[in-house]
Amino acid sequence: MAAPQPSNSNRLASRLAYWVLPEGVRNALRNHRRNTAPARPAAPGNPRDAEAIQRAGANLELRGRHAQQRCFILATGPSLGRQNLEPLRNELCIGVSFFFLHPQAKVVRPKYHVVAPNHPPFDFTLPKRYFSGLTENYDPSTEVLYGYATYPYSCLDCLDSHPQAWNRPLRIVNYTGAKELTETSVESESAWDLTGRPFLVRTVIYSAIQLAVYLGCNQIYLLGCDHDYLADVKRTENHFYQESKGNPDDRHHLEAFTTERWFQEYHRRWRDYRLMRTALEKRGIQIINATDGGMLDVFPRVSLASLFPA
């Protein structure tokens, strides 16, 4: 029997708590609720316990599957709407978030797709849009990995309440208790192990890079990674698609960011990218930015067209 839908008042309380309470207090309250709540039945074929899913070995079979191959990570920045993705038809591609809304998504047909953990203030609307969009726009050959953390309205919570929403094999990357990258941890195998606890993700691009490394790829090209909110913090369209077709609450979420918050966020991302670049180069793995424009200058740049000479 599906769990009851959360009430509107509970949704409002959750969102207010996200903006008002300190993170430590929110975490303590969340852990208390999870530790004292009665157990709920798992959705058929989709066990709610993320650790149980990982122990089943679903991710282990991905290790080194594409050793010494190149891959393309397809993000959702506005620049992706300007790029012709036809040359990627036969390339190894990893889509992220709402890439499936791209008009050439069915041409590219990514082999993999990753989704970051759902977090407050977002509710079940977001994972349900992922479930339906991925099913409608990809054929069953695309393998999807869902990020999981013990936030309210996680993908597994959503499947508890809507077990009919997903009918494919479920792969989970468990970020519960994940730690920030450090100069030391970035070089450890455990930081890149998708059967354990990989490092904390600040953007879904981290998840895609983790997957590419785990698959054994040695050249990782980034597309649509504009990372340029600071260029215009007042803009309302932040992706190649209309915001109303993706996450309907994302605009309000970003509007709450102050310029100082954006500086802090980008400092962390740039630092993490630098750590990744340095550590992966030691392993013979290169990250290359093929985005058309944007502010990300940590990685060497190349134009997509130059990779497919006529």
Q: Dump pLDDT digits (tens) for 2-29.
A: 333 444 555 455 555 555 555 555 545 5
The answer to whether residue 273 scores a pLDDT higher than 50 is yes
β 112-115/286-289 pair status: unpaired
Nearest partner of 287 among 296, 132, 176, 114, judged by Cα = 296
- pLDDT digits over 32-87, tens only? 443 443 333 333 344 456 666 665 578 999 999 999 999 999 999 999 999 999 99
Cα–Cα distance between 174 and 194 in angstroms, integer?
8
The answer to whether residue 126 scores a pLDDT higher than 90 is no
Nearest partner of 121 among 249, 243, 227, judged by Cα = 249
Structure confidence at residue 31 (pLDDT):
45
Structure confidence at residue 276 (pLDDT):
98
The separation between the first and the last C-alpha atoms of the chain, rounded to the nearest angstrom, is 57
- 111: number of Cβ within 10 Å: 17
The answer to whether residue 286 scores a pLDDT higher than 60 is yes
* Average pLDDT for the chain: 82
pTM for the whole structure: 0.81
Cα–Cα distance between 156 and 216 in angstroms, integer?
28
Higher pLDDT, 107 or 42: 107
- Asked if residue 223 lies in contact with residue 72, where contact means CB atoms within 8 angstroms, the answer is yes
In single-letter form, the type of residue at position 212 comes to A
C-alpha angle 121-96-201 in degrees, rounded to nearest 5: 60
Mean pLDDT lowest among 31-35, 181-185, 250-254? 31-35
The answer to whether residue 220 scores a pLDDT higher than 60 is yes
- Asked if residue 75 lies in contact with residue 54, where contact means CB atoms within 8 angstroms, the answer is no
Angle between the 204-215 and 259-282 helix axes, to the nearest 10 degrees?
10
Structure confidence at residue 56 (pLDDT):
59
Cα–Cα distance between 116 and 131 in angstroms, integer?
13
Nearest partner of 182 among 271, 264, 117, judged by Cα = 271
Domains identified in the chain and CATH numbers = 40-307 (3.90.1480)
